[in-house]
Structure 1
């Protein structure tokens, strides 16, 4: 018995670009994700393609991430990061001979060489790489809301949600050269009526959390193993909890295996300070530099108790874990085929950065899935995409779905609670002003006014990023998240004051346009009534 696996990776980072500083800690989020996830993914695609191994997966690349992937300033700094790592790896290779860490440094040498090749192959624009594999048919690309805004909290002012979706769709088309068929709703945040906005933007399907379908008004005939249409005829594909938990859970899933690499022990903290200092930021603060020589070892959180990492051990575990993953999917298929009148579809949905960044072996795990599925036909696995499934099975059950997210407790608690609830009043006040001014000036011919309003739209969108509320809730880099929220709102208010006084500070406007260099073709009219 066989079935479909729809493997979906959500690739997202908030827009972090600080040309006013030579080093900026939060920019490291982007460099680390490129080096450990996005570029290794492109290398993986290349290996599978060259070996004629069929593969199919879906990636949602958010507009903020896509903008950074093709930004000359950020990609230039990424190249310098690669050169510094190559230098450090060269030193480490000499120092680690005849130690348990030598195989790891050989692994890192191969890794950094491969990343440099990817960067140069795609002319310092990683979006070109993903577009290439879309064109060859192995990769489905979909969009997301413009700045990963949490749409359920915008339903009181639908224009705010409309702008997030419209700008997300337009930005995607400008980057990749075609209109997206699908969308990943930020945080899988769904509310009733959002599908009307999606339909207006020619979106055929979106991804939702398990209970978006399971708690629909009508009992789902196939559970989450087939899509369900909303009344607007936009299809929802919901996450399969079983396959997802096996992979993402650090405690119950594969990433927590004791032979896999320990994320939190890094030579940026282990090595002699004078030796490692040239590879730190200018402030000299110790930080992760990316080279880690130890394995998880045990359940203990004591980093001093960790034992050396052996790439060969990890490779063997990957083979075992992939076989287990596919065997479990085979068992799922056997049961589902007994109760369904069509092939079941398992939507295995993950944050893309889980693979490679948080779970070092994750990229190899994905690659091995495709290789084993190809070489061992009895698993009965066929990889597909939501778009292809709808072409094959256009008739599906319809119902009104349940408001939902994939955050803690399944709704909006993460993004609105004691630590972050303060942001919503000023965000709504700015949204009301944006709609008011966009409506007032929607027919203006004044280029200066249009330029001012376009930048106001950018600042509002950037302030709405769900990342800032999430960071405040989780307690990581809270000061930065608060600063970014207030900064964009302050810039919005300043631009609004210029507009109302009809007195534009050209230097200020040029400065914020340069610093918040995103959505070059945005039109403020997306907010006009």
Structure 2
């Protein structure tokens, strides 16, 4: 290895469940369009700037097949265009309503510029969906792309046949959209059960993510799993949690824009966090200059944290070491307004501090491969076990999903010959019902009623189709899905 402080990999996990045709506000398509406008567009913007500079191996980007399907879907593209138009109108209304307050008037102007830019991007670079944009970044070597199972199921709770089918369907979907079959995946929720590496090897998956505790905290190198050649990378929680943890992180600073406080008359967020115990009505107006000053401090703090961690690991292990920080893409811009600016600044500042910044494949190329490891059953959820997806609060959903899989696998064999569109839809409904998001939302009491309803609707559609009484729905994310492959 060449002399560096060590190696840093940023991994972003882009995922939302299938939301098209399933309500709008407060949960539903609005969630998709907010994340699209405030996270996916800005993150792609910064990646394109790196690509234009000829930068390679900037970060590792996971895009789940079910999200990619929505970002390519003509219905979603059309409705997102309408949403952006409404954003422009809301910003224009705010500029009139807030004309007497300099900070709020400036915020309204900034919102209008952001809405105009988003609309222009959608009408030009994104007019055919996300896949052409994403493919250009993959082809340029700017990013390493991670795939995943089709509808983001919690894999440890799946029957092996269903698990294999979901993974192969997802990998095929990414290959069709991008022209490349991903060598790595983001295992949904970092869920792992002993032996799953054999499934990965059979599907051609060479690497995946786990949470740091799965490696007993030693995330300083990637590891082959068991007797396989499949490699796992662990999140370094000491570094990752500096940004965002279950209890704290940069986005909660009082200077940053407050995610939860709305000016409902214009549908915009006018406040800064101010303080955790401050009521929404008492929060101070958002001040971009104040936020920018704080952002510079947090960029420096993160770079210092990474360098200190790498030096500590070098002293401990006697070699250059690896730090992997992994986050949901939606944190940057959607949840944390200043997130994209922080992200770009960090990715530029780390190399200046002597840190090798690269992808997961780049880390392997740099020699960061340690001894084999036996992984325990684990996830990145609360307790780092499976409780979020199989705990007491969702026991009824686990039972329902187990029975759904049993009925799916008990169907009589498909008739030989051509594909059966009804059977394809039946399998699609089952996969949509098995999304990990529904149990997560129930356990975390986040739109739990919506989540339960979604799981129930897809299960009921499956049973109706299996009984010969259902009709095709608008939920067809995977046109290539062939039930005969199950």
What TM bracket, shorter-length normalisation? over 0.9
Aligned counterparts, 1:353-368, within 5 A: 353-368=330-345
* Cα 1:208/1:431, change in 2 over 3 Å: same
Q: Is 1:170 matched with 2:166?
A: no
Provide the TM-score with structure 1 as the length reference.
Answer: 0.86
Query: What does the per-residue CA deviation read over 1:44-100, in whole Å, with 9 as the maximum and x for residues that have no partner?
Result: 223344466676111111111000001111111110111111122123224433513
Q: Is 1:409 matched with 2:377?
A: no
For residues 90 and 486 of structure 1, what CA distance do their matches in structure 2 show? 41
Larger Rg: 1
Secondary structure of the residue aligned to 2:10 is strand
For residues 23 and 8 of structure 1, what CA distance do their matches in structure 2 show? 30
Give 1:149's match in structure 2, choosing from 136, 148, 153: 153
For residues 361 and 384 of structure 2, what CA distance do their matches in structure 1 show? 26
Q: Is 1:445 matched with 2:417?
A: yes
**2:57, 2:141 within 8 Å by CA — same for their partners in 1?**
no
Give 1:348's match in structure 2, choosing from 325, 328, 333: 325
Of the structure 1 ranges 133-142 and 108-117, higher mean CA displacement relative to structure 2 is found in 108-117
Secondary structure of the residue aligned to 1:141 is strand
Give 2:8's match in structure 1, choosing from 5, 8, 12: 5
User: 2:485 — aligned with what?
Assistant: 526
User: 2:476 — aligned with what?
Assistant: 517
Aligned counterparts, 1:163-242, within 5 A: 163-214=165-216, 223-230=218-225, 231-242=227-238
Query: What does the per-residue CA deviation read over 1:246-304, in whole Å, with 9 as the maximum and x for residues that have no partner?
Result: 10137532111111011111112xx3xxxx5xxxxxxxxxxxx3x21111112214112
User: 1:218 — aligned with what?
Assistant: none
For residues 306 and 6 of structure 1, what CA distance do their matches in structure 2 show? 36
**1:355, 1:362 within 8 Å by CA — same for their partners in 2?**
yes
User: 1:128 — aligned with what?
Assistant: 132
Of the structure 1 ranges 118-127 and 133-142, higher mean CA displacement relative to structure 2 is found in 118-127
For residues 409 and 276 of structure 2, what CA distance do their matches in structure 1 show? 53
User: 1:469 — aligned with what?
Assistant: 439
* Cα 1:162/1:84, change in 2 over 3 Å: same
User: 1:138 — aligned with what?
Assistant: 142
Query: What does the per-residue CA deviation read over 1:85-123, in whole Å, with 9 as the maximum and x for residues that have no partner?
Result: 112212322443351312222321222122112212221
Give 1:479's match in structure 2, choosing from 442, 449, 472: 449
Secondary structure of the residue aligned to 1:437 is coil
User: 1:282 — aligned with what?
Assistant: none
> Which ranges of structure 2 fall in alignment gaps of 5 or more residues?
none
**2:207, 2:230 within 8 Å by CA — same for their partners in 1?**
yes
User: 1:92 — aligned with what?
Assistant: 94
User: 1:58 — aligned with what?
Assistant: 60
Give 2:263's match in structure 1, choosing from 264, 267, 271: 267
* Cα 1:398/1:471, change in 2 over 3 Å: same
> Which ranges of structure 1 fall in alignment gaps of 5 or more residues?
216-222, 277-288, 499-504
Aligned counterparts, 1:471-510, within 5 A: 471-498=441-468, 508-509=470-471
User: 2:120 — aligned with what?
Assistant: 117
**1:181, 1:387 within 8 Å by CA — same for their partners in 2?**
no
User: 2:108 — aligned with what?
Assistant: 105
